[in-house]
A = this chain, B = another copy of it.
Amino acid sequence: MENAERLLLDLVDAGHLVPMGIDGMYGRGAAFEDTLLRFDAYISRSAKDDGATLVRFPPVINRRDFERSGYLKSFPHLAGTVFSFDGTPAEHQHLLETVEAGGDWSATQKMTGAVLCPAACYPIYPTLRGTLPQNGRLFDVFSYCFRHEPSKDPARMQIFRMREFVRISDGDSVRPWRNMWIERAMELLTAIGLPAVSAVANDPFFGRGGRMLAANQRAQELKFELVVPIASEESPTAIMSFNYHQEHFGSTFGIQTSDGAVAQTACVGFGMERVTLALFKYHGMRVDRWPDSVRRVLWG
C-alpha cells in the first residue's frame, strides 16, 4: 500500500485529485477531468460505426430493479442504498440533537426507492423487458458507480465513472462481440502507451459460497480484464472488464430474442478514473510533457 499512498500524494500535489476527508472519495482537478473526457471521446471515435444507442443514466437507480438484479446475492458488501428522513418536526429536532452530540442518527433515516448505481449497465436491462428486434440491441452507457470499499489506493475509489457498451442478443452474437472488443481495446490502450495485459478474471463475490462462484466464472471464462500496474507491480489494476452474463439478465428481466429465446448479454466496461490514473502514472503528472504520440491520440 505504500506505493498507493505515494501515488495519491503526487496526484494531490499536482492538483489532479482533491481530498474530501474520506478514503476513496476525491474531487477531480481540471487536467484530470480534461484527460478523462478526452479518453471518453477517443472511445466514442473508436466505436462510432457500431451503431450503439446512447443513454446516460444518473448515479442512483430504482431499488426494486436492483433487488431483482442479483447484485445483493453476489456483492451485498459493495452496494449502497439511499435513505432519507420523512419524520415530524419533533423527530427533526431529535435528529439535529443527535447530530450535534456526535451520535448515531441512522435511526432517523428510512430506506427510499433509490440505490446507488453499482455498474453502468445495470439500469439498461429493466428497460428492455419484452422481445428484441432481430439482431438484438447495442447500448452505449456511462455513469457514476458506487462501491463501498474505502481504500487508500487512488485506483480503488468508492465513487467513479464507468463507460460501457452492452450487447443484448443471442449467445452466438454476444460472445464473439465481447471477444472482438478485447482485441480492439488492447489496440486502443497500446496507442496511448498503456502496457495492458488481458487475463481471465473473477468478480469479488461475497462470503464462502463466493469462492465457488468465482471458480466457476473462471472455468467458463465469463470474465476477462485488461490489467495495468498502477499502485502495485504485483497486483496490477483492472482498467477494463469484459463480461459475458449468459442468460442472467435476460431471464431476470424477461428479455427475449426475436426467435423467442431468452436473451443473452455481455458488456465491455472502461474504468474511466483508472485509465486516467494509469495515464498519469505512466506519462507523468504534467500533461504538457506527455509523449507527442499520446497527446496526438487524445487531444488530436
Partner-B contacts on A (CB < 8 A): 18-22, 25-30, 33, 53-65, 67, 72-73, 76-87, 89, 92, 95-96, 99, 104-106, 109-114, 116, 123-124, 126-127, 144, 146, 148, 150, 157-160, 206-209
Contacts and interface: CB of A to CB of B under 8 A. Distances in A.
Interface of A is mostly: mixed
A65 to B, nearest CB: 6
B62 A33 contact: no
A20 B113 CA distance: 11
B95 A85 contact: no
Contacts of A79: 84-85
In the assembly, how many copies of this chain are there? 2
Closest 8 CB pairs of A and B: A106-B111, A58-B159, A30-B54, A84-B148, A89-B207, A59-B59, A28-B56, A27-B55
Contacts of A72: 95-96, 99
A116 B146 CA distance: 11
Given A53-B30, A56-B28, A126-B21, A158 B80 contact: no
B96 A73 contact: yes
